[in-house]
Structure 1
């Protein structure tokens, strides 16, 4: 059995190497996806990577508006059963989820939907309540995935999901929070495939040049940070959020390197693809604007390290892709979570106004 599994592993790795045009050294970053401890449901996950089965840890749902702010799981309908219409489509994809590891059991629907709500419940409430008239013009879809896996793998699988669920005549717009923006960049790379129906991507606080909080050299400078960082960078997906010194306008961080992001970003420059992206960045002016101690503390730590503008997790220049995207927009006094419309009170003007602004950018885009 071990020999059979090992052969499958090597086949999958060869397939991935043929699928992604990246330097071989990058594969060392995520080789442990396949050769680490025995995982539950190994065979299902491997067949998913081969494209023979849907990945059980990812799913696309259509969102059906209701009447209560206490969103029901029944409002999230598997995309294959969601009624198709002539409306434009918006797909929301969330960021890193610390509650799951790649070695955990397969995520059930209840947990998948909870992962979505944890990031986008306010945005979904705004949609169902008619904010910016979004529900009259767009169908809303939400996508979830296991964030501890490599963004390269998740990006390929996001590509497959989009390709299966939409046609070239559709008009699809993606709203991506945090890590979701990186997964989307992989999905839209010509090295992955072609998704002509994706007209525009709005990134919300995506660490497109990485975050110091996922960078070992930065974390090692503070015992508190080291405890936090060991958990984050202990997963493949988490480690790929690390800061890179490469990129337009980047500040140098000693010992920082992220070959995965470097190659993805260089590919986008080579193919001139950044014009499909609008980048939103949160900027906490006084490091006391966040709704949690965590983000206020993160803002202070980053500021002391020379990153004077951030959302408490992602520096402004990283979120703005060094001003290389089609458009860059700063959102004042919003922490990293608030950049996904998540405020304690859904009626908070910061949440309402950000949602309106994002919908307006999509509606007024030239694509």
Structure 2
């Protein structure tokens, strides 16, 4: 548990940042909105004050098709999706290492590609009728600029959900990696009520952070330095840093993350963790990931005493310290595979994970 004085200081900052529109707050966090294009600056500033939707975030509705080569035409603006009485699935992707705050505003093609990079297998499973998901649910997908703070993205995700769905809807969020943290901000008591969100399933979300976003962990290892250079030099990336706070959390030297500490403390006090089911990837052998990247990450974490991980997120972090409604380990899936994204779309690990997620949602109405 954090000392009360530290909690109070950080809570004051978060409340100011999340729930006010004073110009001084914008100036303080202006690096979130800097762009080389003045028009981009103006659009982002208007979005920050709630006068326009953030042009770097969007909710799409997915229209099932017949080809595994998913067409951009299958992604509709959420407000254009015909209303139905089906339950709603909202999938949220994770961190994109290629993005920076100063990049031009992403067009729809880029937004859709960001979604496909994470969830293309899952969307194919959905449109092909696996577990009859497409008969029971409408599928939506949310994208955002991951270099921005999770506080910025979470607040805007909340606004998007509030504008799209009504209290009579039944909405189930499936969030991979950083998307789980964005969702936790969106659903935090301080952000505002979203009674239509019935359940959140997180897939390999670093709910207590990842060492690869912590400067002190990077050391001289070329792999960690390369990864760290993508993470710690953006606000969003730095907020993925590992924290030593949290239930059952293994300690690594010098690790801290006040943003996650305050967010998680808020959830403990509000009791909202009961809305979360956490899936965690566990590589039983550091050769079983589908890429050298995750296998190397697995070895580095194991050598640091974090013996169970998906190559990026340690087990206890992904499981939220066993504090949620339910925790589920997924054997021999690396961090990307935890979003159904196996090299072979018909791999049993992808198919089984999809089925298990749909089953958990059905069993927790």
Query: Normalising by structure 1, what TM-score?
Result: 0.92
CA drift of 1:269 comes to 0.2
The secondary structure found in structure 2 opposite 1:92 is strand
Equivalent position of 1:134 in the other structure: 133
Pair 1:46–1:326, CA change in 2 (3 A): same
CA drift of 1:36 comes to 9.3
The secondary structure found in structure 1 opposite 2:88 is strand
Pair 1:344–1:18, CA change in 2 (3 A): closer
In the alignment, the residues of structure 2 paired with residue 321 and residue 36 of structure 1 have an alpha-carbon distance, to the nearest angstrom, of 35
Equivalent position of 1:3 in the other structure: none
Pair 1:113–1:220, CA change in 2 (3 A): same
CA drift of 1:220 comes to 2.2
| Partners of 1:39 and 1:103 within 8 A in 2 | no
Matches within 5 A, 1:84-103: 84-103=83-102
In the alignment, the residues of structure 1 paired with residue 253 and residue 228 of structure 2 have an alpha-carbon distance, to the nearest angstrom, of 16
Equivalent position of 1:263 in the other structure: 262
Q: Deviations over 1:238-286 (max 9, x none)?
A: 0000000000011111111100000000000000110000000000000
The secondary structure found in structure 2 opposite 1:70 is coil
| Partners of 1:130 and 1:136 within 8 A in 2 | yes
| Partners of 2:86 and 2:138 within 8 A in 1 | yes
| Partners of 1:341 and 1:351 within 8 A in 2 | yes
In the alignment, the residues of structure 2 paired with residue 246 and residue 326 of structure 1 have an alpha-carbon distance, to the nearest angstrom, of 20
Pair 1:360–1:221, CA change in 2 (3 A): same
CA drift of 1:231 comes to 1.9
| Partners of 2:298 and 2:312 within 8 A in 1 | yes
| Partners of 1:63 and 1:142 within 8 A in 2 | yes
The secondary structure found in structure 1 opposite 2:200 is strand
Equivalent position of 1:55 in the other structure: 54
In the alignment, the residues of structure 2 paired with residue 60 and residue 258 of structure 1 have an alpha-carbon distance, to the nearest angstrom, of 29
Equivalent position of 1:284 in the other structure: 283
CA drift of 1:30 comes to 4.9
Equivalent position of 2:107 in the other structure: 108
| Partners of 1:66 and 1:128 within 8 A in 2 | yes
| Partners of 2:154 and 2:186 within 8 A in 1 | yes
In the alignment, the residues of structure 1 paired with residue 292 and residue 116 of structure 2 have an alpha-carbon distance, to the nearest angstrom, of 21
In the alignment, the residues of structure 2 paired with residue 329 and residue 148 of structure 1 have an alpha-carbon distance, to the nearest angstrom, of 29
| Partners of 1:30 and 1:236 within 8 A in 2 | no
Equivalent position of 1:71 in the other structure: 70
Residue 272 (str. 1) matches residue 281 (str. 2): no
The secondary structure found in structure 2 opposite 1:140 is strand
Equivalent position of 1:341 in the other structure: 340
Q: Deviations over 1:4-63 (max 9, x none)?
A: xxxxxxxxxx99716449xxxx99995642579887611100110111001100000000
Q: Deviations over 1:299-322 (max 9, x none)?
A: 000000000000000000000000
Equivalent position of 1:8 in the other structure: none
Which ranges of structure 2 fall in alignment gaps of 5 or more residues? 1-12
| Partners of 1:40 and 1:103 within 8 A in 2 | no
Equivalent position of 2:305 in the other structure: 306
In the alignment, the residues of structure 2 paired with residue 80 and residue 46 of structure 1 have an alpha-carbon distance, to the nearest angstrom, of 23
| Partners of 2:91 and 2:175 within 8 A in 1 | yes
Pair 1:322–1:175, CA change in 2 (3 A): same
The secondary structure found in structure 1 opposite 2:122 is helix
Query: Normalising by structure 2, what TM-score?
Result: 0.92
The secondary structure found in structure 2 opposite 1:41 is helix
CA drift of 1:145 comes to 0.3
Pair 1:40–1:304, CA change in 2 (3 A): farther
In the alignment, the residues of structure 1 paired with residue 40 and residue 171 of structure 2 have an alpha-carbon distance, to the nearest angstrom, of 33
Equivalent position of 1:316 in the other structure: 315
Matches within 5 A, 1:166-181: 166-181=165-180
Matches within 5 A, 1:344-359: 344-359=343-358
In the alignment, the residues of structure 1 paired with residue 102 and residue 132 of structure 2 have an alpha-carbon distance, to the nearest angstrom, of 42
